[in-house]
Amino acid sequence: MGSSLKSFNIDDHFVRHANFLGELSSVASDLDRADATFDMVNGLADRNLVSFRSVNFPLHFLRHQDFRVKLHEGPNPPLVPPGSAPPPESPDMQLMRKDATFVMVPGLANPNAVSFRSFNFPNRFLRHRDFHLFVEEVDSDLGRKDATFTVVPGLSPEPPGPH
């Protein structure tokens, strides 16, 4: 079913991906709803934390790169013959795992909501600015509001099933 992240301070706006970038927007179409729905899975760098896997691009995760949030292809374990060790992971994939992992904490603007602290830059939080998503330091009232979200059931319609 997935989850969606509703903005704390911009009513009816949700975290979504568009053109492989993290954005904050209203949702009007089935595509918008799918782009705004993520599976909150065990963190790619630390299983006790959280990563956001796209429901409509299930091999892709939200991650920050140069502090801009993007949708990138995640780890895809290679096929390894029985009895063989998997090849070592590339430094780029190790970094991707860290960039796609977040610590869920009580909301910076409201403890009943949530905020997401970067795993590899612990002084930075997932936030929206000008309707784009970044991982940034938060040092103002507006920043705390921009970095606070409510986790709601996924906006994407359920796949069709037998009636």
pLDDT tier at 122 (50, 70, 90 boundaries)? very high
Rounded distance, CA 123 to CA 92, Å? 22
Rounded distance, CA 131 to CA 94, Å? 29
For position 1, what pLDDT does the model report? 73
103, pLDDT greater than 80: yes
144, pLDDT greater than 90: yes
What pTM, to 2 d.p., does this model score? 0.91
CATH class of 3-76+89-150: mainly beta
Please give the structure tokens belonging to residue 48. 């006790």
For the chain, the average pLDDT equals 92
Burial (0-12, 13-18, 19+ Cβ within 10 Å), 119:
buried
- What's the pLDDT tens digit per position in 28-79? 999 999 999 999 999 999 999 999 999 999 999 999 999 999 999 988 766 6
Please give the structure tokens belonging to residue 112. 């009943």
162, pLDDT greater than 50: no
Spans of all domains in the chain: 3-76+89-150
pLDDT tier at 163 (50, 70, 90 boundaries)? very low
Q: Lowest mean pLDDT: which of 84-98, 121-135, 137-151? A: 84-98
